[in-house]
Copies of this chain bind each other. A is one copy, B any other.
Amino acid sequence: MAVYTQVSDQALAEFLTAYDVGKVLSFKGIAEGVENSNYLLRTDQASFILTLYEKRVHEEDLPFFLGLMRHMAARAVTCPLPVPAMDGQLYRTLNGRPATLITFLDGVSVKAPNVAQCEAVGAALAQFHLASNGFELTRANGLGVRDWRPLFDKCAPQANAVMPGMRALIAEELNALESEWPEGLPQGVIHADLFPDNVFFLDDRLSGIIDFYFACNDSFAYDLSVTLNAWCFDDTQLFEPEKARALLRGYESARALTQAERKSLPLLCRGSAMRFLLTRLHDWIFHPDGALVAPKDPKDFLARLEFHRQNDNRLLELLP
């Protein structure tokens, strides 16, 4: 949530000579997105977001991410649309970084979503999954079940310093997840990071989904579990069953879960809690001094993991 690469008025003007987007009226760095630099650009034609991709997003993935946005936007998923340069390119270079212009979406992200918003995000996630059908590019999930152990190995020596007992708990849980992880669930392109800060609302109407930079091919139900963990726990990490019920109802209003998906959901929720626990633990331990972004507390996802371990059937009861 910071601007890492400064873009001068001159660099902007030179970059925009490749685009047909009108005359610049204003240009401001915004505190949005994870590890990219984002600017809000207003021209006499429209408003745009200019994104400069920093280290975490690899240039070779951009055709997937940007192509996915275009694929989704063409199928009525409200998401930003990359604006091609006059030569047809979806991204160009600015200050030595890949950079793209995307359309600006109205809406505000909500810190504490209400029940109606949870239902809306469930429906939007299902529509996203259905709309991914036919998208020709693929991208492996770099943070899937097979990627968690290397992350844990790196963090394990310092895990108990973050919270006593964390190391043994993760080790035990990781063994279970690796041996029980379901295969053969319905797959497609998933968002993989549909947290409230990546969804815009105008009142209770969902007006946009942003930040496709973790999107990948994996099971739909795993994506649903990510979203449940992101939307259905309160500030104190307490599970909110009404929100979970609404999110699941919203999801199934657009796409019915298979029996195998339903049965797997509690384990998938443990898995997605593990995924965010491990990446946050990693960033908590290894973030550089003076980082522009404060690392997020890994304990929030430890609490979710413990909830799912202790309430195996709680989610299943909430399914419509």
Contacts and interface: CB of A to CB of B under 8 A. Distances in A.
A9 B289 contact: no
A279 interface: no
A107 B3 contact: no
B111 A10 contact: yes
Contacts of A8: 110-112
A30 B112 CA distance: 22
A31 B28 contact: yes
A40 interface: yes
A9 B110 contact: yes
A9 B1 CA distance: 17
Interface residues of A, number: 33
Interface in A196-246: 200, 202
Contacts of A1: 3, 29
State the copy count for this chain: 2
Contact of A108 (B3, B9, B30, B110): B9
Interface string A2-27: 11000011101000000000001111
A32 interface: yes
A292 B289 contact: no
Contacts of A3: 1, 31
Contact of A31 (B2, B24, B25, B202): B2
Contact of A25 (B24, B30, B107): B107
Interface in A66-118: 104-112
A235 to B, nearest CB: 11
B108 A27 contact: yes
A140 interface: no
Contacts of A32: 28-29
B111 A26 contact: no
Nearest to A294: B290
Contacts of A27: 108
Interface in A269-320: 289-292
